[in-house]
Amino acid sequence: MSQNHAPGRGNSSQPTRFEAPPAEVHSQERERVAQLIALNQSGRALDFAKDVHKRCRSAASETLLLDTYGVRFASLVERNLDREAAALMDLVRERYPASRERLREWNAALAARHGDLSALLEPLNDPSLPVEKQAAIAAKVRRDVLDLRALAECRTLAPEHPVRAAAAALYRAFEAVTRGPVADAELALPEVSRSSPLAPWKMLVRAIAAYYRRDDALCEKCLTAVEPDSAAARLAPPLRALMHPRQTLTPAAAALVNQVGGNLDSLLAILKRLDSALERRNQPLILQEAANAVSACRQADPGLLERLKQHIAVRGMIAEAKAEKVASAMGGPALRNAYFWRLFARGLEEISRNPMAIAHSCSVWEEFRKHAVHEGWFPAKGPEAATLYLHIADQLGRLGPDALHGVRGNFERLFDGHADYYRGQPSEIRALMSSRSNLDLYFLSPHAVLERACEADPCAENFQRWLRHAEEASPATCDLVAERWAAALPNDIPPLLRLMQSAEKRNALQKAFKLMERAEQIDGLNTEVRRARMRLLVSLAVRHLREKKPKLAEKELRQIEALPQARQGDVPAFVAALRFVWCLLRDARQEAASAHAEAVRFLGDGVTAQLLFLEVERWCRRQFSALGKAPPPTVPLFAAFGRVCVLAEDMGLTLETIEAMPAQLMKELSAPKVSANPRALAALGEVAMQQDYFPLAYTIAGAGLAQGAESQARFLLLRARSLPPWEEDRRSSCLAAASELARRQHDSDLLKRIGEWRDELLGWLDVPRQAQAVGAEEIGRVVQREIKERKFPASRPDFQDDEDCQCPACRAERGDLPPELMEMMDRLGPDALAQAMAEMLGAGGKKKRGRPKPPLDNMDLPF
């Protein structure tokens, strides 16, 4: 705008002769100016107003222009462009001297901006100040006064002036709510009325208090009540950002959000990027994002920092990032407390592909145990510690004994007690580090680990597991384990039975008997204990009968006869057989004949009695039977011998089939629709298996399967066991069906036997460790197939291309060595191998007790 057009220079209401009359300001022009101002485009609004004034040159256009100057001035002041605001004021003063009053207000606003509110507030001291002027000042205070403290301390107004008093109260409240929790009374603020220009501050203070009380709804409600054009509204966006994170904040607002710490969104975004980098195993990106994550976490949630570092360290390890670099990126290593060691151990288990890694995970679990106990997670002894030891044992179970031996050797040479992981740790963490000199590698010994588990939590399950391990890994320690079990849990029967059986096997019958009596005191009704008493008394009697000591045997026989179980089933016949031998020892033939007659009466069949008496005589080492010729059979042989087998099983008697008996048994059992006692058939099948009569066992299984559903699981197992090695598919399907049936019948004994047999065969036959799941239809199909398949599969499948069958049976028949021994022979030569085998089979070295075994010749070797 040029000076020529400035109406302020003359009387704008009286145009000169050469000037055109003033034009009207159109309403559209006013609207356009207002629109640009609303759009925060005060510069363009001012240019437009200048153009309007240039065209109109009227008082109305000048007013519009000066108003627009005022908006432009306010805009510059708000943006801290004070120099530009002052220059604009000078320009207006020069061009429009009549606008003095307006300039004074602007000046006051600029001073107020710098904390000098006297110019703005001074008119309020004038009691005659028009109401509209008062309202204009109030509006400026509401809109422009940002410094409550300056307002509260402004000496222009008396201390009791409502505006000053309200400002003082508000500043105190504002300080209080930003420094700590406040009581409701402090937020009442009666000094600030609803109509006060400082009322928006009151709502802001309440909003801040509500935010800290986690009442976000109230906070939002209070913020809504803050007038948007008021000075207090400047703090609404950061307060909203604290509740609902958003991206665009001014630097000071972002700093506030960080200091108050409400925003986890930026940390979440960084963690997403770090997760992605870890997934892709991109080391540079992992390091970069790890550093960002730690920094963001420190800002947003310092309480989470240590845990985050621990997770980053372990995820980095899984992603194969260099541990030192990850630690360096995080500004130091993660804290190695119990939480870390547990996470680390689990991480190692995830990636453990070789024996050393598995062993490493066990060593880390030991570190976890130490720290967990120290930090009070659980006591040193208790179920938690025991569970940990059992878990370590599980891990060691993944290693074979050879691998474990090798790993232990490596650990003894190389393991330093995780010294690297303790570097840079606080002293209380380092205090738990094991020094090289006092390392205990117990965690690499399943025996030691299970022993600790039993010490920590002496329960039957734990001892059972230790005992099972001892049975598999070092049978010589079984008795030791059973003794520890019996000492820890004196009322448990299983360890006593285990010790009793062990003594029985060693023929230490008196010791076995004492153990049985101990078990009897604990639970006299226990079936196994009752059976054990009978069996042990029989064994003692047989021993004395063998030693030809009838007086001693008499004592046991009387005890046997007094037992209730001696009067059940076929047992009286068995007792009569013992009494028969005892009578013969005393040469009491009449009494012997009575005993025999009594047995025949009990059994109801002369052939069964004949078979039983023959076996008992043989057991008692009587060379010649006194029975004479067998009576003509009245029942099938399988039924008679089956009953004897049941008795033998119960009494611990080992049977021997008599020549030609298998052929007769097979003939009888191959007949259609054989009816037999399943228990007797099962016992007969066991005898056939013990004596390697596989075709007989096969036939018995078929006959047993045809007897009905009750015992089909047992006979399916017998069929699986009796099949030749090349019948892998049939064996697997029989086993699977047997397992499923046993599971459905809750027959835990049978399931255990299936498992044991499967484990036994794993080493040399292709038997799956877990039985495949089969349905009822499949079971029925397998049973029907096995009933129909009566003929033992004696012939092997044909092998094409002259390829020999590699199953152990075919290899043995061809005279081939097992593959492992072939390999040894290639390496060591046949002589060294034969010598080694001879030593292993007991022909080498000196025997401490008993007669020395003769040296083996080549024919003694089992191949």
Partner 1 sequence: MTHDDPHQVLGIPPEAGDEEIRAAYLRKVKEYPPDRAPHDFEKVRDAYEILRDPRRRARRLLLSTDPKQPLTSLLEGRVSERRFPGPEPWLAILREPKP
- Summarize as ranges the residues that interact with partner 1 (CB under 8 A): 78-81, 146-147, 174-175, 178-180, 208, 211-212, 214, 231, 234-235, 238, 242, 250-253, 255-256, 259-264, 267-268, 271-272, 274-275, 278, 293, 300-304, 307-308, 311-312, 314-315, 318, 342-344, 346-347, 350, 376-378, 382-384, 386-388, 391, 457
Q: How far apart are CA 725 and CA 730, in angstroms?
A: 10
Give the contacts of 145 (CB within 8 A, at least 6 positions apart). 112, 117, 120, 151, 197, 231
Which helix (H) or strand (E) segment holds residue 78: the answer is helix 59-78
Beta carbon nearer to partner 1, 81 or 488: 81
CB of 806 to partner 1, least distance (A): 41
CB of 370 to partner 1, least distance (A): 15
Kindly state the smallest distance separating residue 661's Cβ from partner 1, in Å: 52
CB of 373 to partner 1, least distance (A): 12
Between 147 and 615, name the residue whose CB sits nearer to partner 1.
Answer: 147
Q: How far is the CB of 222 from partner 1 (least distance, A)?
A: 15
Minimum CB–partner distance for residue 688 and partner 1 (Å): 43
Distance CA 220, CA 240 (A): 8
Q: Which residues contact 550 (CB under 8 A, 6 or more apart)?
A: 544, 582, 585, 586
Quote the least distance from Cβ 160 to partner 1, whole Å: 25
| DSSP per position, 546-597 | HTT-HHHHHHHHHHHHHSGGGGSTTHHHHHHHHHHHHHHHTT-HHHHHHHHH
Alpha carbons 516 and 759: distance in angstroms, whole number = 30
**In whole angstroms, how close is the CB of 70 to partner 1 at the nearest point?**
16
Comparing CB distances to partner 1, the nearer of 378 and 619 is: 378
Inter-axis angle of helices 59-78 and 42-56, nearest 10:
160
Q: Which is nearer to partner 1, 391 or 781 (CB)?
A: 391
Quote the radius of gyration of the chain (alpha carbons, Å). 50
Task: Give the chain's length.
Answer: 863
Closer CB to partner 1, 303 or 564, in the complex: 303
Is-contact 701 711, C-beta < 8 A?
Answer: no
Nearer to partner 1 by C-beta: 310 or 733? 310
| Angle subtended at Cα 620 by Cα 617 and Cα 622, rounded to the nearest 5 degrees | 60
Residue nearer to partner 1 on the CB measure, 205 or 542 = 205
Taking the least distance from each CB to partner 1, the nearer of 318 and 588 is 318
Q: What SS3 string covers 774-814?
A: CCHHHHHHHHHHHHHCCCCCCCCCCCHHHCCCCCHHHHHHH
Q: What's 721's DSSP letter?
A: H
Q: CB of residue 306 vs partner 1: minimum separation in angstroms? A: 11
Identity at 17, one-letter amino acid code: R
Q: Which residues contact 422 (CB under 8 A, 6 or more apart)?
A: 336, 429, 430, 433
Is the Cα dihedral 379, 382, 385, 387 positive or negative?
negative
Cβ closest to partner 1, residue 203 vs residue 750: 203
> Please, what is the minimum distance in Å from the beta carbon of residue 734 to partner 1?
35
- Considering beta carbons, is residue 29 or 366 the nearer one to partner 1? 366
| Percent of the chain as helix, strand, coil, to the nearest 5 | 70, 0, 30
Q: Residue 528 CB, nearest distance to partner 1 (Å)?
A: 26
User: Closest separation between CB of residue 669 and partner 1, Å?
Assistant: 49
User: How crowded is the C-beta side of 215, counted as CA atoms within 13 Å?
Assistant: 12
Closer of 143 and 811 to partner 1 (Cβ): 143
Task: Give the CA angle between residues 676, 677, 678 to the nearest 5°.
Answer: 105
Cβ closer to partner 1: 303 or 763? 303
Could you tell me the smallest distance in angstroms from the CB atom of residue 48 to partner 1? 22
Separation between Cα atoms, residue 18 and residue 794, nearest integer Å = 137
DSSP string, 89-130: HHHHHHH-GGGHHHHHHHHHHHHHHTT--HHHHGGGG-TT--
* Sign of the alpha-carbon dihedral angle for 164, 166, 171, 176: positive
CB of 245 to partner 1, least distance (A): 10
Nearest approach, Cβ of 174 to partner 1 (angstroms)?
6
Angle at 708 between CA 703 and CA 710, to 5 degrees: 115
| Closer of 217 and 252 to partner 1 (Cβ) | 252
Report helix angle 728-744 to 748-762, nearest 10: 150
- Of the pair 71, 833, the CB lying nearest partner 1 is at 71
3-state secondary structure string, 477-509? Answer: HHHHHHHHHHHHCCCCHHHHHHHHHHHHHCCCH
- Which residues, in sequence order, are CB contacts of 598 under 8 Å at separation 6+? 572, 573, 576
**Residue closer to partner 1, measured from CB, 277 or 767:** 277
Residue (235 or 454) nearer to partner 1, CB: 235
Q: Helix or strand or coil: residue 534?
A: helix
Shortest separation between residue 181's beta carbon and partner 1, angstroms: 8
Kindly tell me which of 274 and 767 has the beta carbon lying closer to partner 1.
274
CA distance 211 to 263: 13
Sign (positive/negative) of CA torsion 706, 708, 709, 711? negative
**Phi, psi dihedral angles at 147 (to 5 degrees):** -110, 100
Minimum distance from CB of 232 to partner 1 (Å)?
9
Judged by beta carbon, residue 264 or residue 480, the one nearer partner 1 is 264
Minimum CB separation of residue 309 from partner 1 in Å reads: 11
- State the sign of the Cα–Cα–Cα–Cα dihedral 285, 291, 296, 301: positive
